[in-house]
Structure 1
Amino acid sequence: MDQISAMRVFVRVVETGNFTRAAKSLEMPKTSVTNLVQGLEAHLSTTLLNRTTRRVTVTTDGALYYERATQILSELDELDGSFSKSQSLPAGRLRVEMASVFADSVVIPALCDFYMRYPQIQLDIGVGDRLVDYIAENVDCALRAGVLSDQSLIARKVGELHMQTYAAPFYIENFGMPQHPTDLEVDHFCVGYLKAQAGRVLPMEFRRGDELLEVSPRYILSVNDSRSYVRAAVSGLGIVQTPFFVVEEAVKKGELVPVLPEWTRDPFPLYVVYPQTRHLSNRVRVFVDWLAKQLQGIARGPAARPGRARAAELATGKS
C-alpha cells in the first residue's frame, strides 16, 4: 500500500464528507478511494470512518489520525516545494473564486502576463459572488471584498476599494441631483445590490469628515451582479455606489456622472481567503502575489486614475 497516497485520500474523504465527492475532487474512481481507505484501516488495525448508506463520520481514532495526517502532508508538501522552487516553476491546477467585476476588469485582461511568468499553472476561475464550500468544491482561494464573517478562513489583505456614488445624466434630468444622502431614502431611486449571503439589499454608507451615515436605498430594481448593477445605472434606473474602476469607461463616455461628491464611503478591504485545512501551495502563493499587484492600480480610487479630470467636469456640468 502507498501510505502517503492513502493518507491523502483519507484526508479528502474527511474534508468532503463522503467518498463520492472525495473521488470527484481527486479525479479518481470511487472504488480506488474506498480501497485505499480500507487498506489504510487494515494497516493501522483500527476503524477510521463509520460508514452508513447516507453519510460518513469520523471515529475517535480517525479524528486523531486526520489531525496528524494533515500536519504531516502539509510538511511534506512544504518540503517538496522548497526544492521545486529552485528547480522548476510552480505547476498544476488552481481553482479560484471571485466576483465577475474582478474577473472581467482586472484578472482576465492581465492573464497573459501571468502565463508568461507561470506557464505550467492551469487556472479554473469561478465567476460569481456566492457562498462557497471550499473543501467540498476543492477551491484553493477566493477574492472577497468587505468585512469577512467566516472565521474558519485564513485571509490575506491585498488592497482596498474606494467607493463613489454615480447616476446617469438621464436620471438626473428626470429626478434632479440629490443634495444629501438621506434624499436617497425619500426623493430618489437607487439600484439595489442584493447580497446573496445576506438575503437583502445592502445599505449605502456615506462619510463626510466625522459624520457617518447609513442609508437604506429606495429602489425599484435590485440585482446581484456588478455588471448588471452598472448597466442599470447607465440605463437611468437609479443611483449606484461602486468603485471608480468599475464605471471608469461609463464616466469617460458621459454615461454616468458623480453625485454627492463631497460624501465618500470608507474603503472596502480586499482579501484573498482560503480554508485553514488547505496547505498554501507555491502556485497559490505566486498567484496571490501577482493578484495583489494587479489590484494596486484599481484600489487607489479616482484620484489616481486618468478619468479624474473628466469626472470633475461632468460633476460640475462642464463638458
Structure 2
Amino acid sequence: MDRLDAMRLFTRIVELGSFTAAADDLNLPRATVTHTIKHLEARLGTQLLQRTTRRVRASREGEAYYSHCMRLLADVDAVEADFLQAAVQPRGRLRVDLPTQFARMWVIPALPAFFARYPLLELDIGTGDHFVDLLREAVDCVVRVGALPDSSLVGRRVGTLEQVTAASASYLRKHGTPRVLADLQNGHYAVNWASPTTHRTESLDFMQGRKRRQVMLPGRVTVSSVEAYRACCEAGLGIAQLPRYRVADGLAEGQLKEILPTMPPPSLPVTVLYPPHRQMPARLRVFVDWLVEVMGKQL
C-alpha cells in the first residue's frame, strides 16, 4: 500500500475508532489494516494509535499526524478534482503552429465552433513553414505538410493534399507547354525547392499509374519558403509543384496553368505532430481530435 493510501487508512481508523470498522469501510482485509499501521508507525518511529479493548484512539503524536494527513489528503483530492474536471471540460492554453495558408483557409474559420464546444480553452497560434523545436519552444503541437524526417515526435495523419504541376502563362508562352515527361528535357526549368529540414533540393515527381517518376531540371532560383516558391512560379521562373489549394486562385484567374494533368504529383500527407506523453493532456487530445474531424470534412 502506498503512502497516500496508508494515510487514508490511518485517518479512517481515527475517525471510526476501530480497525475492523475501517477495514469494512475501505473493503480491506483486517490483516492488511494491521500490517499497514505497523509499517507506518515503524517508518515514522512513533506510536500513532493507542489500542484498548473497546476502542482505538490517536496518541498525541497520532493527533498531530492526523491533522497533517487531513490537510495533505484534502490538497490531493482538490488537485485530482481539477484534473478530472479538465478531462470532462478541458481548460487551459495551447500553443500550436500551423502552415500560414492552411490556418487561414481551414483552421481559423472553424475556430468559433471549437470555442463553442470548449469554452475554457485558449489557443496561441503561430503560423509559418519554418522548423519548430516543440520542446525548446514549449509548443504543444504542429501541423506539417509533406514527408517528415525521423523524429521522436508522435505523428497523427490528418489527411492528404492533392498537388498540381504548374507554370505561369508567361513561362509557357516562352518555353512551350510540355505534353509528355520527355518534353521537360527540352529547355525547361524548375523552381527548385530546398527542404527547410534536410536542405536538399527536391526533384519534380510524377505518378504514371502507380509508378513514381522523378525528374531533375535545371533551375535559376532555389527557395525554401512556400510563399517564395509560388511567387517564383508566378514570375515565370520555372515549373513548380504545389498543393492545389495554394494555387487554386491563380489557376482560376489564368495566371497559372496546370501542366501534365494526367501525371499528377503524389499527394502530400498532412500530419499533426506532438511530443510523446505517458498521459496526453486533455486540452491537447481534444484539439488533435477536433483538427482531424475538421480536416476530414475539408480534404
TM over 0.5, yes or no?
A: yes
Distance 2:290 2:270 in 1: 14
Distance 1:197 1:108, change over 3 A: same
Q: Return 153-162 or 141-150, whichever deviates more.
A: 141-150
Equivalence for 2:240: 240
| Aligned AA (2:133) | D
Distance 1:267 1:91, change over 3 A: same
Equivalence for 2:102: 102
1:84-136 deviations in Å (ceiling 9; x for gaps): 343xx322111112222322332233333333333332222222223322212
Equivalence for 2:215: 215
Kindly indicate whether the alpha-carbon contact (under 8 Å) linking 1:162 and 1:244 is maintained by their aligned counterparts in 2. Answer: yes
Q: Alpha-carbon deviation of 1:176?
A: 0.7
Equivalence for 1:60: none
| Aligned AA (1:157) | R
| Aligned AA (2:244) | F
Q: Alpha-carbon deviation of 1:165?
A: 0.7
Equivalence for 2:129: 129
Distance 1:123 1:185 in 2: 48
| Aligned AA (1:83) | Q
Kindly indicate whether the alpha-carbon contact (under 8 Å) linking 2:165 and 2:241 is maintained by their aligned counterparts in 1. Answer: yes
Kindly indicate whether the alpha-carbon contact (under 8 Å) linking 1:191 and 1:239 is maintained by their aligned counterparts in 2. Answer: yes
The alignment covers a number of residue pairs equal to 222
Q: Alpha-carbon deviation of 1:296?
A: 2.9
Distance 1:231 1:77 in 2: 52
Distance 1:164 1:188 in 2: 17
Distance 1:127 1:234 in 2: 23
Aligned counterparts, 1:46-195, within 5 A: 81-86=83-88, 89-184=89-184, 187-195=187-195
Equivalence for 2:197: 197
Aligned counterparts, 1:244-283, within 5 A: 244-277=244-277, 279-283=279-283
Structure 1 ranges of 4+ moved more than 6 A? 76-79
Kindly indicate whether the alpha-carbon contact (under 8 Å) linking 1:161 and 1:298 is maintained by their aligned counterparts in 2. Answer: no
Distance 1:259 1:218 in 2: 18
What stretches of structure 1 of length at least 5 have no aligned partner?
A: 1-75, 300-319
TM-score w.r.t. length of structure 2: 0.66
Kindly indicate whether the alpha-carbon contact (under 8 Å) linking 1:163 and 1:267 is maintained by their aligned counterparts in 2. Answer: yes
Q: Alpha-carbon deviation of 1:260?
A: 0.4
Distance 1:149 1:120 in 2: 34
Kindly indicate whether the alpha-carbon contact (under 8 Å) linking 2:86 and 2:282 is maintained by their aligned counterparts in 1. Answer: no
Q: Return 174-183 or 265-274, whichever deviates more.
A: 174-183
Kindly indicate whether the alpha-carbon contact (under 8 Å) linking 2:129 and 2:226 is maintained by their aligned counterparts in 1. Answer: no
SS across alignment from 2:136? coil
SS across alignment from 1:96? strand
Distance 1:80 1:278 in 2: 19
Distance 2:239 2:176 in 1: 11
Q: Alpha-carbon deviation of 1:277?
A: 4.3
SS across alignment from 1:290? helix
1:254-273 deviations in Å (ceiling 9; x for gaps): 12121001102222221111
TM-score w.r.t. length of structure 1: 0.62
1:192-220 deviations in Å (ceiling 9; x for gaps): 22212111222221111143211223222
What stretches of structure 2 of length at least 5 have no aligned partner?
A: 1-77
Distance 1:174 1:78 in 2: 69
SS across alignment from 1:269? strand
Q: Return 252-261 or 110-119, whichever deviates more.
A: 110-119
Percent identical residues = 36
Q: Alpha-carbon deviation of 1:81?
A: 4.2
Distance 1:234 1:186 in 2: 21
Distance 2:93 2:138 in 1: 11
Q: Alpha-carbon deviation of 1:279?
A: 4.6
Equivalence for 1:289: 289
Q: Which protein has the larger Cα radius of gyration, Structure 1 or Structure 2?
A: 2
Kindly indicate whether the alpha-carbon contact (under 8 Å) linking 1:193 and 1:223 is maintained by their aligned counterparts in 2. Answer: yes
Distance 1:222 1:78 in 2: 54
